[in-house]
Structure 1
Amino acid sequence: MFPRLRGALSAVLIVLTGLLAPCATLAGWAMHGPADTGRYVATVAPLADDPDVRDAAADTLGSGFAGIVGEVTAGPVNGTVRLFVRDAARSFTRTEAFHEGWDAANRTVHATVLRALRDDATAGHAVTVDLAPVTERVRDRLAEDVPFARRIPVRHTAVTVLTAHQADRLREGYRVLDVAAFWLPLAAVVFAVAGIAVAARRRRAVTAAGIGTALGGALLALAVVVGRRLTVTELPGPVDGPAAGAVYDALTETLRTAAWLLVGLGLTVALASWLTGRYGRLPRRRSRAEPGTDPAPARPTRTGR
């Protein structure tokens, strides 16, 4: 009865290890990847050269510039002007000024959001950011090639990044991730070691732990794929479609890599444990079968006449 109890307890601990492994990986990725401003900016910086992202940015910039032109001229903007503004915006996305503005805007927005998530004093308030310094920097850089750019007005307008409700929900989630990023990996390791230690057959427990880790990694990889579909579908406005997919793929690249590393690590451990268990006992069996190890035959006893 005692070995059965040990086996059941070991199975429960190993199952918990398989469930905690992907959750721990996800929490660690969130806190050390997207939640770090420097890593975030470095991750999204190459997207300034992505065609889909540039087209989405050009459409947004074109609409904004068309509105500015309409206010300056105090009249409606005709189709010819709109076409010119759109072409100018697409040409702008291929300049060094756009790359600088892209990095500066992402850094400013990310730092503002992260500061709001960490500060409890901002609870109940929307997260806003003033992009006027970024606009002025881009305008000065663009004016080096296009003198007309000096006439672009710079307005100090608070742009809402997150509503109060969204910010409060994200703040709660950030706190949970902050705690989970430390405790979940530790709990997964403790459960794995305990499950193997209490098992009646430890080699089988190691194999099961490896298979459970691999399944957890595969589940995490599947969750990333499903999350991409849901994210791209639910995002409204000009960021939907291929541009949103490019941003999602860039941010989750390290998470996908970590998921497949879990699969590879788990399968490697399981395979190594199975092979050592299968072939580790063969020499003993062969040694018993060697003729030299057989006991010498007993001499026949002489019987009296």
Structure 2
Amino acid sequence: MDPPRALGPQGSGPPYRDGPLTPSERRDYARLRGREALRHRRLRYAAASVLLVLAFVLSPLAVVAAWADSQVSDTDRYVRTVAPLARDPSVQNAVTDRLTTRVVDNVDVKGITDALSNALAKTDAPPAIVDKSHLLAGPLKDALTTAVHTVVGKVVTSDQFAQLWDGANRRAHAALVKTLTGEGSSAVEAKGDSVVLDLGTVLDKVQEKLVDEGYEKAANIPDTDKTIPLFRTDKLDDAQDTMRLLNVVGTWLPVTVVALAALAVWTAPAHRVTLMVAAIGTGVMMVLLLLGLVIARRVYLDSVPTTMLPADAAASVYDTFVRFLRNSTRTVLVTAVIAAVAGYLYGPGRGARFIRSATSRATGATGRAMARSGLRTGATGHWLDTHRRWTTGIVIAAAVVALVLWNYPTAACVALVLGIAVVVLAVLAVLGAASTVDGTERTKDPIGPR
């Protein structure tokens, strides 16, 4: 907008502009502009700080929520979660012992010894033998326990048991919903302060095997408790309430955390530094989450009585159920480390400049060697060389999209995508340098300080 104009006396004469600012006015103006700019920068830093704190606090919850949501919504992933339990020796031993006890407890050993005493009495056996026949109850029960344990062990350690386990869990995928929300009914149920697994199908298979082995009476074993406890906690109701909330926000909470971090980077005056802070803070929160899982494991093992579930079996159950959560946490941690390192390498630090310069010299020398050998890339290579910033951004964006579209990426997946992106960038740099053999080797920073 043009500065105000003034007219001569009585409105006549040509208009004229105000004169230039005096030195004191310029100093005042510069001081006011600097003060306003500083205030604006402080507001931007304050807003970015608030956004980062929110992102840091919500990041562990986002990882847990995404894990819980995937376990509920993805049947294949849930089956992959519980499948190793059927093949874990400690769990197999616990299931074998529990099923053996259930079967033997339903055998009337006292009735057998009483029938034996009556039979001996009818054959006029010596009274001493008849009176002491009840002493056979202990050895008879031990022998029966050994025999049943052997048969049950064969069933539980067989491939058929693993197939039954996987099939039952696949058909009863609502089990996890029951565990986390306490709603519906399935193979896994929440009873009081315990989470139990219904092994009715397995027990039926054991009865069939006992009959096949010659124990015909096993077919008459009455229905009994066919469950085995997986978890026990006096805070199950609170945990279920928390998991219900996490299931609701399981899809949007991770998106919200990413959006908060991106908005913080965009809001802050120093984008690169803020990106590094966001990555480092997220990495620290992932380390704390891993430590929390270790502490929770100890608390869980201390809360499970050995009479309910042996310590080694309880440890296997916990480790199996949370292993995908650990994998997700490590994946986010590795991604955060890569983002922090990338932010540093794009900065003005001496080490970052040295790495960029050395990389540029190496790719340039390789490209020119190709050109001298006749493998020139011509106009295409020249375009790649002059649009290196664009091609770098496209490759990085493609790597990010690949990780977003990858179902449940692991730390190894992140490393693989990073390796491919680095190789592609190196190849593009070599092709750009191979466009000509003329010119001097680039030693300046191809990116420049950020």
Task: Report the TM-score range of the alignment, normalised by the length of the smaller protein.
Answer: 0.7 to 0.9
Say whether 1:263 aligns with 2:326: no
More helix by share: 1
Change (3 A) 1:217 1:112: closer
Structure number with greater CO (CA < 8 Å, separation at least 6) is 1
- The residue that corresponds to 1:175 in the other structure is 244
CA contact (8 A) 1:128 1:159 kept: no
The one-letter amino acid paired with 1:54 is: Q
Say whether 1:215 aligns with 2:284: yes
CA distance in 2, matches of 1:105, 1:129: 11
Cα offsets for 1:135-159 (capped at 9, x unmatched):
334534x369534367333645576
Q: Name the SS of the counterpart of 2:249 in structure 1.
A: helix
Cα offsets for 1:194-251 (capped at 9, x unmatched):
1111101111101101101211221121122112111122112342311111121122
User: Which aligned pairs between 1:86-101 and structure 2 lie closer than 5 A?
Assistant: 86-101=149-164
Say whether 1:275 aligns with 2:345: yes
1:32 to 60, 63, 70: 70
Give the aligned CA root-mean-square deviation in angstroms.
Answer: 3.8
Deviation at 1:110, TM superposition (A): 5.8
- The residue that corresponds to 1:21 in the other structure is 59
Change (3 A) 1:219 1:132: closer
- The residue that corresponds to 1:146 in the other structure is 213
Say whether 1:206 aligns with 2:275: yes
- The residue that corresponds to 1:186 in the other structure is 255
If the length of structure 1 is used for normalisation, what is the TM-score?
0.75
1:232 to 297, 301, 309: 301
The one-letter amino acid paired with 2:162 is: H
- Name the stretch that deviates more: 265-274 or 74-83: 74-83
- Name the stretch that deviates more: 210-219 or 169-178: 169-178
Change (3 A) 1:168 1:228: closer
Percent identity reads: 30
- The residue that corresponds to 1:84 in the other structure is 147
Q: Give structure 1 stretches of 5+ with no counterpart.
A: 288-305
Cα offsets for 1:72-119 (capped at 9, x unmatched):
955655333333333443344323443344445655776356358374
CA distance in 1, matches of 2:268, 2:295: 36
- The residue that corresponds to 1:56 in the other structure is 94
If the length of structure 2 is used for normalisation, what is the TM-score?
0.53
Change (3 A) 1:226 1:167: closer
The one-letter amino acid paired with 2:247 is: D
CA distance in 1, matches of 2:98, 2:238: 28
CA distance in 2, matches of 1:169, 1:139: 39
Change (3 A) 1:61 1:130: closer
CA distance in 1, matches of 2:168, 2:222: 15
The one-letter amino acid paired with 1:136 is: D
CA contact (8 A) 2:99 2:203 kept: no
- The residue that corresponds to 2:311 in the other structure is 241
The one-letter amino acid paired with 1:263 is: L
The one-letter amino acid paired with 1:227 is: A
CA distance in 1, matches of 2:197, 2:327: 33
CA distance in 2, matches of 1:251, 1:132: 22
The one-letter amino acid paired with 2:46 is: A
CA contact (8 A) 1:143 1:149 kept: yes
Deviation at 1:132, TM superposition (A): 4.5
Q: Name the SS of the counterpart of 1:278 in structure 2.
A: coil
User: Which aligned pairs between 1:83-162 and structure 2 lie closer than 5 A?
Assistant: 83-103=146-166, 106=169, 111-112=174-175, 114=177, 117=181, 119=183, 132-140=200-208, 142=209, 146-148=213-215, 151-153=218-220, 155-156=222-223
Change (3 A) 1:167 1:207: closer
CA distance in 2, matches of 1:64, 1:29: 35
CA distance in 2, matches of 1:93, 1:214: 42
The one-letter amino acid paired with 1:82 is: T
